[in-house]
Structure 1
Amino acid sequence: MKQAGLCCLALCCTVSLKVRAQQDCRDVLPLIITDEKTGEGIPGAAIGTGSLQALTDADGHGLLEGLCTGKLHLHVEALGFVPLDKDLAFSKGDTLRLSLKTADQTLDAVEITGHKQVLNTTTSVTTLHQEELDRLKGGNLATILTAIPGVNMLQTGATIGKPVVNGMHSNRLLVLNNGIRQEGQQWGSEHAPEIDPFIAQSITVVKGAEAIRYGAEAIGGVVLIEPPALPTDKSIHGELNLVGASNGRAGTVSGMLSGNLAKLPALSWRVQGTLKRSGNLETADYFLDNTGSKELNYSAALGYSKEHFGFDLFYSHFDTELGIFKESHIGSIEDLQAHIANGRPFDNGSFYYSIDAPRQQVKHNLLKANGHVHLNDYLHINMQYGFQTDNRREYDIRRGGRSSIPSLNLTLYTHTLNAYLEYFNGRQWKAMFGVDGIYQQNSYDGASATRQLIPDYNTNGLGVYAIGKLIKEAYQVEAGLRYDYKYLTALGYRDKQLYGGRHTFGSLSGSLGIVLPFSDKWNLRSNIGTAWRPPTVNELYSDGLHHGAAAIEYGDSTLNPERSVKWINSLAATPLPWLNVNLDVYAHYFKDYIYLYPTGQFEDRLTGAFPTFVTKHTDARFLGADLSAGIHFLKHADYTIKGSMVRAKDISAGKYLPMIPADRLSNALKWSFNPGKVAQETYVQLEHVYVAKQTRYEPGSDYAPPPDAYQLLNLSAGTQLQWKRHQLGINFAVDNLTNTLYKDYMNRFRYYAHDIGRNFILRLTYRI
């Protein structure tokens, strides 16, 4: 694999030399569109030059591709602002910042090519744009998001990971896939979000408690996955991604095509698909048996847009099969205790692609329909319907040749309906009024003839909210209020006994935030918000083996809803031309915080022996800070530092909480240059990552103490080859360069094995 990667890199470099003399008409121009009065980024601004068009994201950032270096005429329009026409000249590497004046009356000529609920919040927001995503492709969503300070990863072995934001994960962290709440996380924390990251043009993490906009599950933050906007020009746009990795001998191919109809230019389309295969992963010393995976995903979108209205349809399918590390499903309590004491498998394993029991099959389908209408110059309404199906099958090692029969087969159906009315007077007042509805039905296939992990259940939910924002030159103030109601009924059999119950939950949430743009160099955001979260069915009624985590978990049907208050302050500063700093400091207090606690006991089941965990609740406090800073020195060199820390405590018992991320610090030195007209954005980067030992831990409270601190070196390099309308991105990386043998505290399989070792990764991205 390593030799193949080097050959591909050499071949691409040869292509670079051959096309160096050709005219470059594939330049990229980043733009930032802001409000002239407030300096705030303007989302949804339409940027055009000739046949090329782009839309700005939630932060006012846009990207024009396919340009020729030199002069161009730029036209910018946004609802509530005076259109801008400007002639300018640009060079490679430039970033253009433009400001728009607010209009006394919005012009009717503005064409809205796409519409989404504007994320224009007073809390901390970080976005990974296309350039950063190109350098991270091939990993799962959680791995990609760890590039953001304050985001860690909760792992269940080497194949399952989910993001952790400021210590919050699973049902406290809401994931929006193209505007739809991802609902496949209702069965527990031992499986990853069913999302293909290749669909995303940007991924945004909101660290505040965004419960007002999005509902109770946003108590810990929000992750927004945004695909590219549907095109409005007559060209066909295409993208092909190839990723190869040495660890697991993995290969991924993903493609995307989009365009519109020449005879009906208001109608646009996009199709996308991904195929991925990986074998057993390897630590620095040994293979992890049965850790292969297969993945097949695809999606399609269709949109129709006119001057004052539009609609779009979106469908996606996610299908994965995952092997569960064999040494986590062990035959007897004595063997399990011996494996935990040893801290690694007793043999070195081997490589193979086949996936045996224990394994999982997960399928997720999403259908979205969205429409918007501009009622007048200041008022528009948006309605959205989403339908999801989630099916999860778990296969254990079973006697009598029954390993091919799922031991657990769960299906979840979710309907969501959202509508909101947004008002902006073109000057200083913005307001939003919305209503959200949800209906879910979960069913268990009894043909598997094993113990029912959770009961069948139905849920109904309704939320109404209002948000207002005042925009002044010296400050911005935002306030919001929301009420949510949820009804849950659950019914199942446990040892031939009927169990379950009815639960009704309801509560108010509120938020207040302010933005203080002291100057173009200093910006402070402060937001305080209350939030709540009803307990999920797995927290209430779990009774059995959570397959992916290789753990027996027990719920508590008497749980109360979590209630919290979070105050987060974010400072963004560029005090010197060569220095930028971003600092987030937060305090998060919980009433009835729900968590899993290790009992220290083991249980024998037909499929093996497993550690046991019980669901508990307490009052808790989370304090923390996230830092990122960049220094530009010499002509081509940049140094960046990122760090995060969380201090979590059970304040009722005066003890530390389990499974809280340890302190993390990373340093990176990057050398960037442009060797010619064709080869652009060339870079070489060396990164050092340090993760401390988690010392805020109750001795003897877990099956194994927290692992030692570890350090990793990561090396990466890349370039962009551009000619005419073609662009080829090449990124080569070596993760864990020194092949360090280590364990991470946030990996639930650290009892049995180490994390993965050195990994060579080659990423190729071709665009037209």
Structure 2
Amino acid sequence: MRYRVYSIITLVCLAVQTFAQQADCRFPVEGLVIDSVSREAVPGASIRMDAGNKTSFSDEHGHFSFNRGCSGKAVLTVTALGYQPYRKELVIGGPLELTLQLQPTRLNLQEVEVRARKPAAPGVNANTTVSGQQLEQTKGGTLADVLKSVPGVSTLQAGATITKPVIQGLHSNRLLILNNGIRQEGQQWGMEHAPEIDPFVAQSVTVVKGAEGIRFGPEAIGGVILVKPSALPKQGGLQGELNLTGSSNGAAGAVSGRIEGGLGNVPGFGWRLQGTGRASGNGSTADYYLDNTGVRELNFSGALGYSRKKVEADLYFSHFNTEIGIFRGSHVGDTADITALISHGRPFNEVDFSYQVDAPRQRVAHSLLKLESHFHLSSNSHIDLIYGLQQNKRQEYDIRRGGRSSIPSLDLTLITQTLDLFLESMNSRGWKHTVGLNGLVQVNNNTPGTSVIPLIPNYDTYNAGVYYIGKLSQNNYQLEAGARYDHKYLDALGYDKDQNLYGGTRTFHSLSFSLGGVIYFSPGWSLRSNLASAWRPPVVSELFSNGLHHGSASYEIGDETLESEKSYKWISTLEHQSDRLRFDLSLFLNRIDNYIYLKPSGTFYQSIRGVFPEFYYSQTKALLTGGDIGLSYNLTKALEYELKGALVRAKDLRTEGYLPWIPSDRLENSLAYRWAGRESFVKFSHLLVARQNRYESGSDYAAPPAGYQLLGLEAGTSFLFGKTRVLLNTSISNLGNTLYKDYMNRFRYYAHDQGRNITVRGILKF
């Protein structure tokens, strides 16, 4: 009897215990995975809980969660590429919130460079990221200078002071730039309107070469550039960075500083302050100065962030302010003078060096306010809400009589508001779903008092888009498909030189699609392929401009009947990564219906301010094909060979002729010797740019210039000075001081490109 009673009591106790255990498996366990040194989020970490054999992965913000943790003891095991395995024992008695700090493993710079070549942007499209040492070697330059190291990327210039990126033959409004997650909206419609972004802010810059119209909306026909600052610190402590650069050409100098930290008594709170000042005088070619080509720049930014439980919020503000001199030799008095100048190919009057910036010049101020909220719904889903407010004020000054050069001839203020909302979720079968909404409201006004008929009218524009992307990830392949619909409304109004009212309303809309995938071969090989459509409605300058564009020293005429561009781009990329070889080869085909381009008229426009080449906007069917290659091979442990090449073929399908302003074929070779753990290096490079032979004879004011070859030399090292990390590097571009012209320079009619330039950089990290 006793035995029976004891057995019954034991069984009841076990049942109660089992029931209690089941009832207690409701405790959420969540937290952040961060780098113990930089305090930045570690995305893609695998977190395994032995109790219940559950696995979670940290998202791009470093967040992870388990919805149901059972009471009692449990062990978390965390693994991530580039970090030592981490193990933590837990006692679960209620909801837990953890911060897991991973210790970085010792990775040499070669491995860091390999990791930088991996896709850093969402999606299956080919992309390349510039970061780490490669980014540090471009400090003091423009955003376009940073991107020139990426195969398939070149630059479009307006003299010595203004550069903008070109990806596989396309530039300006066909490239979408995301500045800290906000699409950059300035007066970027001009060839000489450079992006108003301070590269010192960036921790990484990623180039996505495929058409990304689904994910990012209109104007992503040629690709996307993602400028991303480092994540805000989430823990207490103070850290910072000081950059100092100096260049011989233009006697240029730049200083940029950053300081950031957290609050120890407020976990999850982070802040950052950053500022940059830059100045240069007249640039020089191999044997003469370029008059009035100085630059003055002053930028600053600040950020606040808070991360707690299921919510993260970030507030970011930046202000970019620059004054840019326009080469004075591009402004001449009459038709005979400009014809003689183009024939001569260089200024008749040589000048001395000067820091003074006079008319013609540009003054641009761009402010950006961003508010982002990130909501963790579960370990596999989240919602992001991003609001952006931008003000872009552009003033262009011309040489005017009667002492009126201090009054702008073009004075525009552009206000843009954007709102992005998207939901991402992933299931256990490897499917990731993204549903999003985008909205944009834009108002542009001419400021009165210029005494000049505005080049473009006042306008308002409204854009709304909705999209869906589905992505399946398996062990040896990924598949992705998406669709998007956009609608845009434009209302413009202005007066022409005869006081006639012009403008009106236009409505544009389009459906876009994307289909692509990645196959992973062994060992280290992968093949990416993507077919996508994208579109771009004509901007106001293309529709209605009719006047002197001072920044480019040209007279431009729009066409209000222009239709939206529609692109169908196919791009495939073969990639390989191993200990000694890193290789990628991209081939692309881009069919663009209603392709809009600026066509030389062959005549000159005469005004009281001088004589200028005349261009008008035209539309055709275009086909762009080509490819680019990037290769890096370790000949020995210390000696590395690198190859980069690109070619683009652009045909006008209506006339069977060639399109203007397409980059020439280019090939760059370099040889680098690295030692001391690859932190010290010497690198010698050779760039070959061919003559652009694919152009219509007589269609331009001057035939494309001859091809050229440039030599370059770089060297750098780093060391510890107490607790401060010091990085020093120097570079010499155009080592042989070659006198040359580049076809993609709008001022090649009047002058040569930059001569030898020695740049010295010092970076202190503390």
Please state which band the TM-score falls in when normalised by the shorter chain. 0.7 to 0.9
Give the match's secondary structure for 2:237.
coil
Alignment partners' CA distance in 2, 1:631 and 1:61 = 29
Q: Which residue matches 1:247?
A: 249
Alignment partner of 2:128 out of 126, 129, 136: 126
Contact 2:393/2:411 (8 A) holds in 1? yes
**Displacement of 1:186 after TM fit?**
4.4
1:563 aligns with 2:553: no
**Displacement of 1:49 after TM fit?**
6.0
Q: Size of the alignment, in residue pairs?
A: 691
Correspondence list, 1:377-416, <5 A:
377-416=379-418
Q: Which residue matches 1:689?
A: 687
Contact 2:172/2:189 (8 A) holds in 1? no
Corresponding letter in the other structure for 2:472? L
**Displacement of 1:580 after TM fit?**
2.2
Alignment partners' CA distance in 2, 1:109 and 1:149 = 44
Corresponding letter in the other structure for 1:744? D
Q: Which residue matches 2:714?
A: 716
Correspondence list, 1:39-78, <5 A:
47-48=33-34, 50=36, 53-56=39-42, 77-78=58-59
Give the match's secondary structure for 1:375.
strand
The CA RMSD over aligned residues, in Å, is: 2.4
Q: Which residue matches 1:526?
A: 529
Q: Which residue matches 2:744?
A: 746
Correspondence list, 1:417-566, <5 A:
417-494=419-496, 495-566=498-569
Q: Which residue matches 1:315?
A: 317
Per-residue deviation, residues 356-384 of structure 1 (Å, max 9, x unmatched): 11111000000000101112332211101
Alignment partner of 1:631 out of 621, 630, 633: 633
Residue segments in structure 1 that go unaligned for 5+ positions in a row: 1-44, 63-74, 89-93, 101-106
1:601 aligns with 2:603: yes
Identical counterparts, % of pairs: 51
Deviates more, 1:398-407 or 1:180-189: 180-189
Corresponding letter in the other structure for 2:276? T
Corresponding letter in the other structure for 1:737? L
Alignment partners' CA distance in 1, 2:391 and 2:407 = 21
Corresponding letter in the other structure for 1:514? G
Q: Which residue matches 2:4?
A: none
**Displacement of 1:54 after TM fit?**
2.9
Alignment partners' CA distance in 2, 1:569 and 1:349 = 49
Alignment partners' CA distance in 1, 2:644 and 2:100 = 38
Give the match's secondary structure for 2:742.
coil
Q: Which residue matches 2:198?
A: 196
Change (3 A) 1:265 1:653: same
Give the match's secondary structure for 1:212.
helix
Contact 1:186/1:537 (8 A) holds in 2? no
Corresponding letter in the other structure for 1:526? S
Contact 2:739/2:753 (8 A) holds in 1? yes
Corresponding letter in the other structure for 1:512? L
**Displacement of 1:348 after TM fit?**
2.3
Change (3 A) 1:725 1:219: same
**Displacement of 1:56 after TM fit?**
4.5
**Displacement of 1:47 after TM fit?**
4.9
Correspondence list, 1:651-670, <5 A:
651-670=653-672
Change (3 A) 1:285 1:473: same
Alignment partners' CA distance in 1, 2:208 and 2:216 = 11
Corresponding letter in the other structure for 2:240? G
Alignment partners' CA distance in 2, 1:645 and 1:450 = 42
**Displacement of 1:187 after TM fit?**
4.1
Give the match's secondary structure for 1:447.
coil
TM-score by length of 1: 0.87
Q: Which residue matches 1:732?
A: 730
**Displacement of 1:635 after TM fit?**
2.6
Alignment partners' CA distance in 1, 2:212 and 2:550 = 32
**Displacement of 1:120 after TM fit?**
2.0
> Rg bigger for which structure?
2
Alignment partners' CA distance in 2, 1:99 and 1:609 = 70
Contact 2:45/2:57 (8 A) holds in 1? no
Contact 1:216/1:534 (8 A) holds in 2? yes
Q: Which residue matches 1:22?
A: none
Corresponding letter in the other structure for 1:762? V
Give the match's secondary structure for 2:219.
helix
Q: Which residue matches 2:157?
A: 155
Alignment partners' CA distance in 2, 1:744 and 1:112 = 52
Corresponding letter in the other structure for 1:510? F
Q: Which residue matches 1:235?
A: 237
Contact 2:187/2:392 (8 A) holds in 1? no
**Displacement of 1:99 after TM fit?**
13
TM-score by length of 2: 0.87
Change (3 A) 1:508 1:765: same
1:213 aligns with 2:215: yes
Give the match's secondary structure for 1:171.
helix
Q: Which residue matches 2:333?
A: 331
Alignment partners' CA distance in 2, 1:344 and 1:481 = 51
**Displacement of 1:244 after TM fit?**
0.2
Correspondence list, 1:616-627, <5 A:
616-627=618-629
Contact 1:112/1:307 (8 A) holds in 2? no
Deviates more, 1:741-750 or 1:45-54: 45-54
**Displacement of 1:125 after TM fit?**
0.8
Contact 2:324/2:361 (8 A) holds in 1? yes
Change (3 A) 1:586 1:80: farther
1:281 aligns with 2:279: no
Give the match's secondary structure for 2:214.
helix
Correspondence list, 1:290-369, <5 A:
290-369=292-371
**Displacement of 1:331 after TM fit?**
1.2
